[in-house]
C-alpha cells in the first residue's frame, strides 16, 4: 500500500494554490485605486488696447464631454501700456513681460512647463493698428513670438482675435462662471443644469465694446450669430463688436469733437471733466488714432498742445456724448439701435464687466439698482469739482478719475439708446468684475474653447501589485496547482493499479 502522506501534501498544496489565486485576484480588483492623470495647465495673455493681463488656468486631464473643467489660478497685470503702443519700439516688449512670466513659472510645476500651452490673443488695439499699419502690427506680433519661443512653455502662437470672437469668448466666460453650463449633482458629478437659462454678456474695453446673448428666436437669421459647442450642447449666440466704441477710443473722439467745435485751438472747455481740472494733451494723443481720423483738424499738427479745462456740466456732457452715436441711420427700426447695425431684442439677464464694472464702482453703485438710481448718481458725480473727486476716489489714477463722468454718460447712451435697455429691464444687468476668484474676461472663454482641441487622457489605475508581479504569481500558483492536480491523478492511477494487482494475486494464490 502506498503511503497517504504524498496525497495529503498534494491536496493541501492544490487547495492552497487555488485559495491564493482567488485571493490575489480579488485583492487586485477590489483594492485598485483610480488616480486622476493630474492637472493640465494653460496660459492665456489678454493683450488689450490699454494693458496686457496674464492668466493661468488649470483643469483635470480627464474632461467632461470633451471640454475641460477650467479654473483660474493666477492673474498678473503686465506693467505698461498695451502691446499696440510698442509699434515703434518692439524691442521693449520683453522686459514688462518678464516679471509676470517669472511668477507664472513658479505657479506651474517645472515638469509640466513643456506640456503647458501658452496663447496670446490681441484685441481691438491690435485690430486698429493692423488697419492703420499692417507692417507695424506684424512686427509687434513677430517680436512677441520670438520672446515666447524662448520660454519653456509650449507656445501656440500670438493672434489678433476678431471682435465677434472676443464677444463670444466673453459670453462663454460669464455663463461658465455663473454655472450655466455645468453644475455638481448630489453625487458630486458634473451634469448639465436642468432648464438653466444663459446670460447675455456686455464687455467694454479700451478700443471696442461687445454685446452677446441668445435671442428669443435663436433661429432668426442675423448675420452676427455664431454657433458654440460646449459640454456636448450647441448654442446659437448673437454677438456684435463695435470698433472705436471702447471707453478710451470713445473719449478720444469726444476730445477731438470738442476741439472741432471750439473757437480756439489752444484752450478747450470739457463739460465731462470735473470742475477746476486742467490738463494739456497733444493733438496726436486723441487725433492720432484711426477712430478719430475723420475728426482731425484741417491743420493737423501732431505735437501741438491743447489745454482742456473741466467745467463739470452734466447736461452739456450728455449732449456732447450723444453726438458720438449715429442714431439716424436706422430710421427708428426696432431691430436697428444705432450705426445701422441690426440687433435682436435684448432678452433675459446680462452681466456687464470690464469698463462697465469699473465705472459703476466709481459711482459707488453696488448690487441691483434702477436706471433712476444710475442717472441720479451719474448727475451727482459729474457735478463734483476736481478737489471733491479726488477725495471721493483717493486710490484712482488721474487718467481714470477725470474720465469716469464721461464713461458713465457713454454707458448710458450705449445701453439705453444703443442696445435698447429701459427702466424695466435695466435691473437685469449685473455689473460684476469676477465670480469667486475668477475674472470675467474673454480669456477664460478662449481657454474653454481651446480645451476642446486638447485630447483627454484616460484615468490611471493604481494596483496593489505591479502587473508583472501579479502575472508572475498567477502563473506560478497556476503551474503549482496543475502539478499538484497531475500528481494526485497519478497517485489515484497508481493506487488503482496496485489494488487490481493485489486482487489478481489474491485470486491466484494457492490454498
Mean pLDDT of 168-179: 92
How many C-beta neighbours within 10 Å does residue 496 have? 10
Mean pLDDT of 454-469: 53
Domain residue extents for the chain: 3-32+467-506, 39-243+433-453, 247-431
Mean pLDDT of all residues belonging to the chain? 86
Please indicate whether residue 179 or residue 332 has the higher confidence score (pLDDT).
179
Does domain 39-243+433-453 correspond to CATH entry 3.30.420.40?
A: yes
* Residue 5: per-residue pLDDT: 74
* Residue 318: per-residue pLDDT: 96
Edge to edge, the sheet with strand 208-213 lists 225-230, 233-243, 208-213, 200-204, 350-354, 429-431
Question: Which range has the worst mean pLDDT, 208-217, 373-382, 418-427, 486-495?
Answer: 486-495
Residue 293 confidence (pLDDT) above 60: yes
* Interatomic CA distance for residues 160 and 140, integer angstroms: 11
Specify the 3-state DSSP secondary structure of 233: strand
* Interatomic CA distance for residues 347 and 212, integer angstroms: 11
Please indicate whether residue 322 or residue 234 has the higher confidence score (pLDDT).
322
* Interatomic CA distance for residues 19 and 23, integer angstroms: 6
* Residue 44: per-residue pLDDT: 95
Residue 11 confidence (pLDDT) above 70: yes
* Residue 15: per-residue pLDDT: 81
* Interatomic CA distance for residues 36 and 60, integer angstroms: 7
Cell 459647442 identifies what position? 229
* Interatomic CA distance for residues 220 and 215, integer angstroms: 8
* Residue 4: per-residue pLDDT: 66
Asked whether the domain spanning 247-431 has the same topology as the one spanning 39-243+433-453, the reply is: yes
Cell 502691446 identifies what position? 83
Mean pLDDT of 233-247: 92
Cell 483643469 identifies what position? 59
Of 58, 64, 165, 166, the catalytic one is 166
pTM for the model: 0.78
Mind listing the pLDDT tens digit for each residue in 389-435? 999 998 888 999 999 999 999 999 999 999 999 999 999 999 999 98
- Element containing residue 270 per DSSP (H, E): strand 267-270
Cβ 363 vs Cβ 378: under 8 Å: yes
Mind listing the pLDDT tens digit for each residue in 59-82? 887 665 566 678 899 999 999 999
- CATH T-level assignment (fold) for domain 247-431: Nucleotidyltransferase; domain 5 (3.30.420)
Q: Is 64 in the active site?
A: no
Residue 257 confidence (pLDDT) above 70: yes
Amino acid at each position: 500500500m502506498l503511503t497517504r502522506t504524498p496525497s495529503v501534501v498534494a491536496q493541501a498544496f492544490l487547495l492552497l494554490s487555488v485559495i491564493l489565486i482567488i485571493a490575489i485576484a480579488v485583492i487586485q480588483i477590489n483594492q485598485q485605486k483610480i488616480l486622476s492623470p493630474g492637472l493640465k495647465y494653460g496660459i492665456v495673455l489678454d493683450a488689450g488696447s490699454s494693458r496686457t493681463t496674464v492668466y493661468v488656468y488649470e483643469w483635470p486631464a480627464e474632461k467632461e464631454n470633451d471640454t475641460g473643467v477650467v479654473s483660474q489660478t493666477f492673474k498678473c497685470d503686465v506693467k505698461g501700456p498695451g502691446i499696440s503702443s510698442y509699434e515703434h519700439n518692439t524691442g521693449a516688449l520683453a522686459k514688462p513681460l518678464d516679471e509676470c512670466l517669472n511668477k507664472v513659472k513658479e505657479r506651474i510645476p517645472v515638469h509640466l512647463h513643456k506640456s503647458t500651452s501658452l496663447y496670446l490673443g490681441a484685441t481691438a488695439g491690435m485690430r486698429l493698428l493692423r488697419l492703420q499699419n499692417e507692417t507695424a502690427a506684424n512686427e509687434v506680433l513677430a517680436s512677441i513670438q520670438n520672446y515666447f519661443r524662448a520660454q519653456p512653455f509650449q507656445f501656440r502662437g500670438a493672434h489678433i482675435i476678431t471682435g465677434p470672437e472676443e464677444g463670444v469668448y466673453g459670453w462663454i466666460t460669464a455663463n461658465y462662471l455663473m454655472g450655466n453650463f455645468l453644475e455638481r449633482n448630489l453625487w458630486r458629478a458634473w451634469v448639465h443644469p436642468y432648464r438653466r437659462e444663459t446670460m447675455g454678456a456686455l464687455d467694454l474695453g479700451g478700443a471696442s465694446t461687445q454685446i452677446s446673448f441668445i435671442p428669443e428666436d435663436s433661429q432668426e437669421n442675423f448675420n452676427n450669430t455664431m454657433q458654440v459647442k460646449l459640454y456636448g450642447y450647441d448654442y446659437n449666440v448673437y454677438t456684435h463688436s463695435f470698433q472705436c466704441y471702447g471707453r478710451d477710443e470713445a473719449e478720444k473722439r469726444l476730445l477731438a469733437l470738442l476741439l472741432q467745435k471750439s473757437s480756439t485751438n489752444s484752450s478747450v472747455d470739457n463739460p465731462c471733466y470735473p470742475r477746476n481740472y486742467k490738463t494739456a494733451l497733444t493733438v496726436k494723443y486723441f487725433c492720432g488714432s484711426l477712430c478719430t481720423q475723420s475728426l482731425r483738424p484741417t491743420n493737423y499738427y501732431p505735437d501741438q498742445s491743447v489745454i482742456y479745462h473741466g467745467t463739470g456740466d452734466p447736461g452739456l456732457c450728455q449732449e456732447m456724448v450723444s453726438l458720438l452715436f449715429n442714431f439716424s441711420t436706422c430710421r427708428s427700426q426696432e431691430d436697428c439701435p444705432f450705426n445701422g447695425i441690426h440687433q435682436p431684442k435684448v432678452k433675459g439677464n446680462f452681466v456687464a464687466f470690464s469698463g462697465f464694472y469699473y465705472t459703476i464702482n466709481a459711482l459707488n453703485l453696488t448690487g441691483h439698482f434702477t436706471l433712476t438710481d444710475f442717472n441720479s448718481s451719474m448727475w451727482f458725480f459729474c457735478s463734483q469739482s476736481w478737489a471733491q473727486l479726488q477725495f471721493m476716489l483717493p486710490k484712482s489714477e488721474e487718467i481714470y478719475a477725470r474720465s469716469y463722468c464721461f464713461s458713465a454718460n457713454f454707458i448710458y447712451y450705449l445701453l439705453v439708446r444703443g442696445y435698447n435697455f429701459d427702466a424695466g429691464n435695466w435691473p437685469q444687468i449685473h455689473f460684476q468684475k469676477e465670480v469667486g476668484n475668477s475674472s470675467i474676461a474673454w480669456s477664460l472663454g478662449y481657454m474653454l474653447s481651446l480645451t476642446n482641441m486638447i485630447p483627454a487622457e484616460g484615468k490611471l489605475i493604481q494596483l496593489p501589485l505591479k502587473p508583472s508581479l501579479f502575472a508572475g504569481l498567477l502563473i506560478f500558483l497556476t503551474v503549482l496547482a496543475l502539478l499538484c492536480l497531475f500528481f494526485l491523478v497519478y497517485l489515484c492511477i497508481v493506487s488503482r493499479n496496485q489494488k487490481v494487482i493485489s486482487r489478481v494475486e489474491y485470486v491466484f494464490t494457492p490454498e
